[in-house]
């Protein structure tokens, strides 16, 4: 009998860990990356880069490569590929598990402003401060670009941190910081102070790799605008960590995971 073949829709640290764990169980593992990052971390097993051509293309690839489990370990905000995964799993009768790290939770000492979209975040900024630390990634920065000369966004200054250089349109006044997490609390604290940041903007990505900025903002008493993550597709089994995914696939594999 051929070995089970797991297709991981990746791009996160959890996807990397999942590929590492599954390759030790004798499972054939293919990780698919969207190709938006020029120098991605290479997971163990087979690697595929680029889109599938929607849900139909994904389903076709799964049939051709005899995929026995589809594992959605994409970023919590990558809703389009997650929706395509649901359709492809239904069309092929393949089990689907979504690995979603828990979101961040504010403490009583935090000053969070929760919004649904980047546009809502941008509209809120002029009421909160003038020097913005923008950590929402390189996509969607057009929401923070002023629309005309009367737009209050034109008077704000942004420190934009991203793994890759963003495409225009971008904010009018900004400095670009190319960096990839994880980040330390000391480093985040020094960054906020050095650039005299008075507002932090982030997506609720969850996980420890980029959470230090929230602690640093709390210590400095800064307001934080948090873009809520979209709800996962209905009816999909979700898991908060790698071990839970392994337990759903094979209890014996989960027992060996550290």
For the chain, domain boundaries: 5-102+231-256, 111-227
Instruction: Among 8-22, 86-100, 142-156, 239-253, name the one with the lowest average pLDDT.
Output: 239-253
**Where is average pLDDT lowest: 7-11, 76-80, 96-100, 188-192?**
76-80
% residues pLDDT > 90 (the chain): 74
| Contact yes or no for 241/13 (Cβ under 8 A) | no
Give me the residue label for tokens 């995929």. Answer: 67
- CATH number of the structural domain 111-227: 3.40.50
Residue 232, pLDDT > 90, answer: no
pLDDT of residue 36: 66
> What is 5-102+231-256's CATH number?
3.40.50.720
- Residue 43: is it exposed, middle or buried by C-beta count within 10 angstroms (0-12/13-18/19+)? buried
**Cβ-based burial of 47 (10 A; exposed 0-12, middle 13-18, buried ≥19):** middle
pLDDT digits (tens, 9 = 90+) for 58-77: 999 999 999 999 999 998 88
Q: Tens digit of pLDDT for each residue in 113-164? A: 999 999 999 999 999 999 999 999 888 999 999 988 789 999 999 999 998 8
pLDDT for res 38: 60
The pLDDT confidence band at residue 256, using thresholds 50, 70 and 90, is: low
CATH fold match for the domains 5-102+231-256 and 111-227: yes
């Amino acid at each position: 009998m051929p070995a089970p073949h797991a297709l991981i829709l990746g791009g996160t640290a959890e996807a990397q860990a999942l590929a590492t764990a599954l390759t030790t169980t004798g499972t054939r593992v293919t990780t698919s990356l969207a190709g938006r990052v020029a120098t991605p971390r290479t997971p163990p097993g087979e690697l595929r880069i680029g889109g599938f051509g929607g849900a139909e293309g994904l389903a076709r690839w799964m049939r051709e490569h005899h995929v026995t489990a589809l594992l959605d370990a994409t970023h919590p905000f990558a809703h389009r590929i997650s929706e395509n995964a649901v359709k492809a799993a239904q069309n092929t009768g393949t089990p689907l598990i979504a690995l979603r790290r828990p979101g961040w939770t504010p403490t009583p000492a935090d000053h969070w402003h929760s919004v649904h979209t980047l546009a809502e975040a941008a509209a809120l900024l002029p009421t909160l401060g003038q020097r913005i630390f923008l950590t929402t990634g390189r996509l969607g920065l057009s929401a923070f670009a002023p629309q005309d000369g009367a737009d209050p966004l034109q008077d704000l200054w942004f420190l934009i941190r991203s793994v890759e250089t963003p495409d225009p349109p971008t904010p009018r006044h900004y400095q670009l910081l190319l960096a990839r997490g994880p980040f330390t609390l000391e480093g985040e604290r020094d960054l906020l102070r050095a650039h005299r940041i008075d507002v932090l903007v982030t997506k609720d990505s969850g996980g420890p790799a980029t959470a230090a900025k929230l602690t640093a903002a709390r210590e400095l008493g800064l307001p934080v605008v948090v873009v809520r993550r979209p709800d996962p597709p209905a009816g999909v089994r979700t898991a908060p960590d790698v071990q839970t995914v392994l337990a759903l696939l094979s209890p014996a594999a989960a027992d060996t995971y550290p």
